[in-house]
Amino acid sequence: MKRPVCFVCTALLMLALFVQPAAAWDSSVVVFKKNTNGRKTVALTFDDGPHPRHTGEILDILREYDVKATFFVVGENAGYYPDLLRRIVNEGHEIGNHTFSHRCFRKLTVSQMSREIRLCENSLYRICGQKTRLFRPPEGVLPGSIIEYIRKANYTVILWSIDTRDWARTSAEAMFENVKKNVSPGEIILMHDFTRGSHTAEALRMIIPYLIDEGYRFVTVTELIGSE
Ligand SMILES: [Zn+2]
């Protein structure tokens, strides 16, 4: 899944967002990284699944703490594990579009990118009857050429403000320390439910109780951005 370049791509995207003249961007395309309204809420997000082991394990932990999260689903994986997608939805979590096959947009044409978004949308709708308005591009790479399609399709682009780096098999302790050090109201936390050898579940058992003790409320992305 080319994780090592993820950080670089994200940095480039951030740079592009800041250096582009305002007129080059359609202001009706909203890109969220966090909420700045000051409310003590955080959104946990899990990308790339569903996965036969990780997704179930993560769902069990979320249920244990009665925490709702948002899963940015890869359409192809949803097709392999439809029951897991239904479980995500039935347990009250939110789903978002993370393309059909997780190809990085950097190398794709507009028609390939829009097809990736559409196929994922169809897959999610076929399996659980839901349409999502949340879109997260693979590796956080969002070329300007796809903006018009995203605007017309009425998606909100969701990035993140804290990258736990679980995709790099970061230890649970290091992930916990990262969150502890950087958390503030309105953060969107990036994690994955499809990385072999990751310590995501173990880290969640430290991160969730800590944030609850600190007075944070876990919300879905829609709830987080809806109170902007
Ligand atoms: Zn991804």
Give the residue among 181, 174, 192 at the shortest CA–CA distance from 72. 192
Q: Could you tell me which residues come within 8 angstroms of residue 154 by beta carbon, excluding any fewer than 6 positions away?
A: 133
Checking if the pLDDT of 112 tops 80, the result is: yes
pLDDT of residue 30: 80
CA 1 – ligand 1 centroid, Å: 8
pLDDT above 50 (res 22): no
Residue keyed to tokens 């202001």: 27
pTM over 0.75? The answer is: yes
- Check residue 15 and give its pLDDT: 37
pLDDT bin (cut points 50, 70, 90) of residue 196 is confident
Cβ atoms of 94 and 226 closer than 8 Å: no
**Two tokens, residue 180:** 């502890």
Q: How confident is the model at residue 29 (pLDDT cuts 50, 70, 90)?
A: low
Residues 168 and 195: their CA atoms lie apart, in Å, by 9
Catalytic residue numbers? 47, 192
Q: Give residue 36's pLDDT.
A: 86
Cα Rg, the chain, nearest whole Å:
16
Quote the ligand 1 centre to 102 CA distance (angstroms): 6
**200-213 vs 54-64: helix crossing angle, rounded to 10:** 20
Average predicted confidence (pLDDT) for the chain: 89
Q: Are 204 and 211 in contact (CB under 8 A)?
A: no
Confidence of residue 20 (pLDDT cuts 50, 70, 90): very low
Per-residue pLDDT, 38: 86
pLDDT score of 37: 85
Q: What is the Å distance from ligand 1's center to 48 Cα?
A: 5
Catalogue all structural domains in the chain, each as residue range(s) with its CATH number: 28-226 (3.20.20.370)
CA 143 to ligand 1 centroid distance, Å: 16
For the chain, the first-to-last Cα distance in angstroms comes to 32
- Find the 209 Cα to ligand 1 centroid distance in Å: 26
Q: How far is the CA of 47 from the centre of ligand 1 (A)?
A: 5
d(CA 104, CA 46): 17
Mean of the pLDDT values across residues 89-116? Answer: 97
